[in-house]
């Protein structure tokens, strides 16, 4: 043990936690300087999102003993970010968030390396995500969380008794905020519920019925949505509405005012128009700070075992007094995403094309435009065009051959899920079993072949 009193070290405070044994710690905890060095050397963390949570997360993680960080975000900095995204300055407006955030944290915390990725999360190969020890999510959309969750869960392998193999488990720490409220959660795929197991925690957004907008508007929001969803198309025909175009927004506002006057409705303002049209979620620095700090602390605990971990969902509410509550949710045993995978039984003669068609009709999947990978090898890719061309010839070959004549194995497919009139990009893990060979019972469940 190093003597903190004699050697001044940046790690002065953190060392108390990492170098000293404790009783209320995680099972993997092995205190000492080696642990501290291992966190620097071997632990790689991806922060998804460089917004209100992401900026805080990068700072918190950089000051929690981690030195290998990467951050991914597709957005550019806007003026309205500056009240909370403290790594950005007025002169940064218009620049990619990921790049500026990474640069600022590296400038202030020496020894930390942050690699920025200015792109959509779907643009990265699935394998990109497998490179990280822990994935930390600072997002504001359900779709993006759902996607990262499905990617992280796709790495999870199950043994022959359907028990998850710990070594393939990709931990996630997820945070979210809205005004004075927020949540932080730890997802250990296969052990604790994944995002999809508890998707009901995020109720679907309420949309106004079109007939209300068209015939019986009652409040300002109805008038705004009428102008935005109905009137815009009537007047502008094919021209797409762009919420970031001030002229478009002003037009919608003016139309909403006219409609409100017509019906004797009060309360249409420009600010409300923006709020309704862009579905703006109010956000403040303090809540982001609290939730990110909880997420960073849990990340440190997962990586080091220096204390017990959150089990498994924290809700925070600062509206009336202060309420912090921990709930232990349970896994959905039939979860499509973190379970052992959807079982697909096929004849050995089924071609890759036929297989892709089957996924679209499969009642649990409803997956169109599928790209297929097997053990990291692209069998068919819908995009980019180069890859599509390279893999196109596989479509006519039997999947059994393409999978190296394995009688059963895991296949990953990405595509568009079409459920409840909603299209979302997703990744699904499938357990493909070929019928009628080597003792596999031919249950003749059809399968289309």
Partner 1 sequence: MAAEPKTKYDRQLRIWGEQGQTALEKASICLLNCGPTGSETLKNLVLGGVGSITVIDGSRVEVGDLGNNFMVDESSIGQSKAKCVCAFLQELNDAVKAKFIEENPEALIETNPAFFTQFTLVVATQLVEDSMIKLDRICREAGVMLIFARSYGLTGLVRISVKEHTVIESKPDHFLDDLRLNNPWTELKRFADTIDLNVTEPVAHKHTPYVIILVKMAEEWTKAHGGSLPSSRDEKKEFKELIKARMIAIDEDNYKEAIEASFKVFAPLGISSDLQKIINDNCSEVGSNSSDFWVMVAALKDFILNEGCGEAPLEGSIPDMTSSTELYVNLQKIYQAKAEADFLIVERRVREILKKIGRDPHSISKTMIKSFCKNSRKLKVCRYRLIEDEFNNPSIPDLQKYITNEEYSVAMGFYVLLRAVDRFAANYNSFPGQFDGEMDDDISRLKTTAVSLLNDLGCNGSTLTEDLISEMCRFGASELHAVAAFIGGIASQEVIKLITQQFVPMSGTLIFNGIDHKSQVLAL
Residues designated as active site? 211
Which one among 22, 32, 243, 436 touches partner 1, defined by CB under 8 A?
22
Q: Which of 279, 282, 281, 276 is nearest to 227 (CA)?
A: 276
Q: Quote the tokens at residue 377.
A: 């090898």
Instruction: Report the residue number, 109 or 387, with the smaller CB distance to partner 1.
Output: 109
User: Which CA distances in Å does 313 have to 245, 307, 309?
Assistant: 39, 16, 11
Q: How far is the CB of 448 from partner 1 (least distance, A)?
A: 39
94 to 123, contacts with partner 1 by CB under 8 A?
A: 107-110
Stretch near partner 1 under the rule CB under 8 A, chosen from 160-168, 197-205, 277-285, 402-410:
277-285
Stretch near partner 1 under the rule CB under 8 A, chosen from 232-240, 258-266, 344-352, 365-373:
258-266
Stretch near partner 1 under the rule CB under 8 A, chosen from 2-10, 335-343, 413-421, 426-434:
2-10
In the three-class reduction of DSSP (H, G, I as helix; E, B as strand; rest coil), residue 113 is classed as: strand
Is residue 37 a contact point for partner 1 (CB under 8 A)? no
Query: x/- contact string, 49-78, with partner 1 (CB under 8 A)?
Result: -------x--xx--xx--------------
Is residue 86 a contact point for partner 1 (CB under 8 A)? yes
Is residue 310 a contact point for partner 1 (CB under 8 A)? yes
CA separation for the pair 185, 120 (Å, rounded):
23
Neighbours of 358 (CB within 10 A): 18
Pairing of strands 68-72, 44-48: parallel
Which one among 165, 258, 308, 419 touches partner 1, defined by CB under 8 A?
308
Q: How far is the CB of 158 from partner 1 (least distance, A)?
A: 28
Q: Quote the tokens at residue 299.
A: 């990340």
- DSSP strands (E only) in 2-112: 44-48, 68-72
Which one among 218, 250, 364, 392 touches partner 1, defined by CB under 8 A?
218
Q: 35 near 18, Cβ under 8 Å? A: yes
Q: Quote the tokens at residue 36.
A: 């501290």
Instruction: Report the residue number, 121 or 296, with the smaller CB distance to partner 1.
Output: 296
CA separation for the pair 377, 224 (Å, rounded):
49
Stretch near partner 1 under the rule CB under 8 A, chosen from 113-121, 127-135, 264-272, 394-402:
264-272
- DSSP strands (E only) in 118-268: 134-138, 172-178, 181-187
């Amino acid at each position: 043990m190093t003597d903190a009193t004699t050697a001044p070290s940046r790690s002065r405070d953190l060392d108390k936690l990492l170098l000293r044994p404790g009783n209320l710690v995680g099972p993997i905890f092995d205190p000492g300087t080696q642990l501290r060095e291992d966190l620097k050397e071997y632990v790689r963390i991806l922060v998804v999102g460089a917004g209100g949570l992401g900026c805080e997360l990068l700072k918190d993680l950089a000051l929690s003993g981690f030195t290998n960080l990467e951050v991914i975000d597709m957005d550019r900095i806007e003026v309205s970010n500056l009240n909370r995204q403290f790594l950005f300055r007025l002169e940064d407006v218009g620049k990619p968030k990921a790049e500026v955030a990474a640069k600022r944290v590296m400038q202030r915390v020496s020894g930390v390396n942050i690699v920025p990725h200015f792109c959509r999360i779907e643009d990265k190969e699935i394998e990109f995500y497998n490179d990280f020890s822990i994935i930390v999510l600072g997002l504001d959309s359900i779709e993006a969380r759902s996607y990262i969750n499905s990617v992280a869960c796709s790495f999870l392998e199950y043994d022959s008794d359907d028990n998850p193999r710990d070594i393939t488990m990709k931990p996630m720490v997820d945070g979210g905020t809205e005004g004075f409220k927020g949540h932080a959660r730890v997802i250990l795929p296969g052990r604790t519920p994944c995002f999809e197991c508890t998707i009901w925690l995020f109720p679907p957004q309420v949309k106004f019925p079109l007939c209300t907008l068209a015939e019986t508007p009652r409040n300002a929001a109805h008038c705004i949505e009428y102008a935005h969803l109905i009137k815009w198309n009537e007047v502008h025909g094919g021209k797409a509405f762009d919420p970031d175009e001030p002229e478009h927004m002003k037009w919608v506002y003016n139309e909403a005012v006219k409609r409100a006057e017509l019906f004797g409705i009060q309360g249409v303002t420009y600010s409300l128009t923006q709020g309704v049209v862009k579905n703006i979620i109010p956000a403040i620095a303090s809540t982001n700070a609290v939730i990110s700090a909880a997420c960073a602390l849990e990340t440190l605990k997962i990586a080091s075992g220096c204390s017990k971990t959150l089990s498994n969902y924290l809700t925070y509410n600062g509206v009336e007094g202060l309420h912090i509550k921990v709930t232990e949710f349970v896994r959905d045993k039939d979860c499509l995403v973190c379970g052992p995978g959807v079982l697909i039984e096929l004849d050995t003669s089924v071609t890759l094309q036929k297989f892709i068609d089957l996924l679209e009709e499969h009642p649990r999947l409803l997956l169109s435009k599928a790209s297929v990978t097997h053990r990291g090898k692209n069998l068919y890719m819908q995009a980019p065009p180069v890859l599509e061309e390279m893999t196109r010839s596989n479509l006519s070959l039997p999947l059994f051959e393409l999978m190296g004549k394995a009688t059963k194995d895991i296949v990953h497919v990405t595509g568009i899920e079409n459920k409840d009139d909603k299209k979302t990009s997703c990744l699904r893990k499938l357990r493909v079993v070929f019928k009628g060979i080597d003792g596999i019972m031919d249950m003749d469940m059809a399968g289309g072949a």
